[in-house]
Structure 1
Amino acid sequence: MSRVLFLFVICFSVTSAWSITDVTQLSSSEKKVVDWIKKYTVPNTRDTNGNAWVKESLPKVVRDWSGYDSSIKPTAYAAAIVTAWSLKEGIFRAGDFYRTTQTVDKRCSCFEFPAQLPPKTDFPIEVFTYNLCQGRSVIPDPKTNNYQDSCDCSCTEPCPGQMIGPNQKCIGRRSQESDWQNGMFGMEQSHVASAADVAARAENIYHKIYGPAYTYMDVLDNTLTVAGFAKGTAVYEKVMGCFPINAGKRQSVPASGLSWPCADLISMWLVRNHLVGLTVAINDNLGWLPSYLNDVKVLAKYFNN
């Protein structure tokens, strides 16, 4: 689902200031998300193994670029790459999409829990659950160990797909295609290796921030809460229902032992975590990057200050 920006503009009436020479060219909603990334992502982001970003861990096309500025920290470049992709795709301007009645026809007809979206705030927290499907959506159900409510979410070209609910999985039109764009960094979810892989990334990163007792289950709890789905909401309880309760507390289990529905739910939500998702998205769809290196540098300079 590459080159979605052009298609996104046509289908969802969203525009993006691209290319940019300064962050002041961003829309107000884009700037809010970019500033959130600067405040929360940039100081905490680490690579897949939980180590500090270094030039060698960045995509080759960036580190070999003649315009690479060694005075800008690799951390700033890492955040700038995934941010540039999301801006190019128009994702940061999708904050009101779920709530806009004029575009309700662009949501999948079996959109999950439309009445239980996060409360409307000044910050577009909906970008954390951006979930675009071209194909069929299903709801992973841990209780029945199956998938529920299959729904056709495809739409006629050039439309890239339809928005689906936060706990819905997208099944592509053909197995060789990537039809599912997920999370604030627009990750191609079908490129994610496994729930075990992203769970390991989550723990590698968050152990360096909160210590070794912080599990991927804790990362999920935090991610769901930040996205606006607090404990007690249907979205939260379905995801966290993958973990057994013992003595009144949820117990983390090895990600490799999760059922298929639980693995899907945990994988999609861990990718939505800004630190975990960054490590996946930074190496995805790199064909776009050579044409936007100057834009990446603009964002990297902003994040570096």
Structure 2
Amino acid sequence: MPRKRKNPDADARIAAYEAKMKSLVDEGKYQEAIEYSEANGSVLYECDADTCTFYSFKIIGVCRSKDIRKGWEEGGYRPPHWIEAGNALFDAGKYEEAIESYYKRIQENPDDDRAWYLMGCAYRAIGNPYESVEAWDKAFSIVMKDENVDTLEADPDSAASWAERGDIEYNQENWKEAIVAYRNSLSICADQPDIWFRKGCAHYEMEEYEDALIAFENTLKKNPHDLCAANNKGVTLFKLRRFEEAKETFRSIACRGMKDDLNEMCIQRNKERIESPEKAIESLIFISNEAPTPNR
């Protein structure tokens, strides 16, 4: 069955995009291919088919691997055995076997950001967007953590650096480590509502509901108009079976007005469930936003 296009002119644009990507790759212009993809790759979304099946989507994994390895080699990097073996398999088009090799290196050293990055490239090359993004995120978090360690060694009394460390751990779902870092940051500067909020979310994920409640209350002291913190305070009170206080919390949100965005739609849904606590307690929506990623 032929693919359906959202736009009748999409066929020609996608064909031209794919041809340009192939031309750049065939010429070994991997960095240019990456830049061209970032600028023009959205054309693939004009097709109702799975974008992960396109040549131009998968080949980005090859481009990223080739481009970054070139830079590492120019810098004098000599890969350990399993990365070298994985690179050979990758270059032979044996991407799944390359993933196995990179993983063996990760088992030797879980903090090898290069192994994680290259594994992400191999996943992208077989058209797997989810594992590729997870592996790349892990690689970037290792690099950011290393840089953050250096920053904290230079200035251990920096609230911003401790908050950044907390965000790195938070985005990797290392809740305990995130809480420790956020606590350090807040001990230096307590006037950080966003950090109180994410500390509360981390406690909630650890099922430490009393500590989560304290953190959300501190968020609201610093920023009384934070609807997500108010929502999470209400959900946490439900978890603690303090139903009347939870109802009052959600009722107070109702007085502030609701906007048409996803978080506030979730809050409105919670408000509609609070009159039946026994049913609502497992179905209330907790809002846990990803922490911002530092610019590098």
Which structure is higher in strand share? Answer: 1
1 or 2, which has the higher helix percentage? 2
TM-score (norm 2): 0.23
For the pair shown, the structure with the greater C-alpha radius of gyration is: 2
